[in-house]
Structure 1
Amino acid sequence: MNSSSTNGDAGLPPRKVHLAEQPVAVVREHVRMDALPDFFGRAFDSVMAAAQRQGATPAGPPFARYHGMPGETVDVEAGFPITGTFTTADGVQAGTLPEADALEAIHTGPYDTLQQTYGAIQQQMRADGLTPADSMWEYYLSDPEKEPDPAAWQTRVIWPVIDRTG
């Protein structure tokens, strides 16, 4: 595969991954679905400012973690994985993304078409007999301010699965 490809894994079927626990700094709220863009902007700015005040550094792209299935509103946290020491302050919480077995897929395109990628992950889970966890998260690999074409945006979708063997 050409390493300069802008699509990365886009278009490939969801794949199983094992994720290590990741420290994060987030803002968590119940948000109406149509208010998510404003929430994300505010949360990412707040987390970045709080992390900088404490000398912590983003360790990856911004993300949003959804707790439960979205309806008219969703319980969501948004922020950054971090390195360094961070403690809860200024409305920004210290937390972790859990160690997990998950399915991941790279979505290329506007955010309003993410359901297609979630559908592919759910189909793969059913085919593999896996049980989805009640939370999932998205890493926003593209910065809409630097890449104005929504067709080129990339989002890494992670949906942990529950181990029913244990």
Structure 2
Amino acid sequence: MSFVTSAPATSMRRVQLPETHFAVVRAFDVSLGDIGQLFDSAFPACARAFATGILVPDGPAICRYLRIDAETDNCDLEIGFPVASALSQPVQLDGQEFVPSCTPAAEYAMQTYFGFYDGLNQAWSAFVSTMAANGLQPAGPCLECYVTEPAPDLDPATMRTDLYCPVESIAD
């Protein structure tokens, strides 16, 4: 899967990514504080879809933020996995509807965050500041790629999440 780099990016880097297809659960107007509950319902359905062969993952889990309202802290997002080929139609499983999604081929800024998920807001703030300091601004929906699968006995300091944001020059 093209989103995952073998080595973590300890500082921001620019990468060119190809078009990538996903099977996702979409949610609209979700409070940022409630995202964990959404993950807790979507990912077990994903695992069952993989076990039955209904969906075939082509990389680690992602969350793509389509919209974030700074005033309300509500967002529209997609939670799912990259797939080798695009879904031809939605798939219903365990009360979840998986729909096709796609990120376009584009230039992205990316950086790796190590730590528990509650530190991601701070990581995003620092990442966006670094982009601006390098003359870049977001040019579309950003996403998180959960390289390390969470487990009960896992040291949170080793949990790797890669942050991706399509970018354009501030002057554009």
Task: Name the TM-score class by shorter chain.
Answer: 0.7 to 0.9
How far is the alpha carbon of 1:130 from its aligned partner?
1.5
Aligned to 1:89: 91
Say whether the 8 Å CA contact 1:50–1:92 is kept in structure 2: no
Distance (whole Å) between structure 1 residues aligned to residue 98 and residue 8 of structure 2: 32
Q: Which moved more, 1:47-56 or 1:117-126?
A: 47-56
Structure 1, residues 74-133: CA drift from partner, whole Å, max 9, x if none?
Answer: 111100001245231211101112212111011001111123322332222212222212
Aligned to 2:147: 141
The count of corresponding residues between Structure 1 and Structure 2 is 159
Distance (whole Å) between structure 2 residues aligned to residue 15 and residue 56 of structure 1: 31
Aligned to 1:15: 13
The answer on 1:101 being equivalent to 2:100 is no
Percent same amino acid at aligned positions?
Answer: 30
Distance (whole Å) between structure 2 residues aligned to residue 85 and residue 67 of structure 1: 19
Structure 2 unpaired stretches of 5+: 1-6
How far is the alpha carbon of 1:51 from its aligned partner?
5.7
Structure 1 unpaired stretches of 5+: 1-7
What secondary structure is seen at the aligned counterpart in 2 of 1:92? strand
Relative to structure 1, the CA distance from residue 13 to residue 85 in structure 2 (aligned partners, 3 Å threshold; closer, same or farther) is closer
The answer on 1:77 being equivalent to 2:83 is no
The answer on 1:161 being equivalent to 2:167 is yes
What secondary structure is seen at the aligned counterpart in 1 of 2:151? coil
How far is the alpha carbon of 1:147 from its aligned partner?
4.9
Q: Which moved more, 1:100-109 or 1:36-45?
A: 36-45
Relative to structure 1, the CA distance from residue 33 to residue 116 in structure 2 (aligned partners, 3 Å threshold; closer, same or farther) is closer
Aligned partner of 1:127: which letter?
Answer: A
Structure 1, residues 55-82: CA drift from partner, whole Å, max 9, x if none?
Answer: 4410000000001235432111100001
Distance (whole Å) between structure 2 residues aligned to residue 56 and residue 84 of structure 1: 10
What secondary structure is seen at the aligned counterpart in 1 of 2:124? helix
Distance (whole Å) between structure 1 residues aligned to residue 13 and residue 153 of structure 2: 26
Alignment RMSD (CA, Å): 2.6
The answer on 1:34 being equivalent to 2:33 is yes
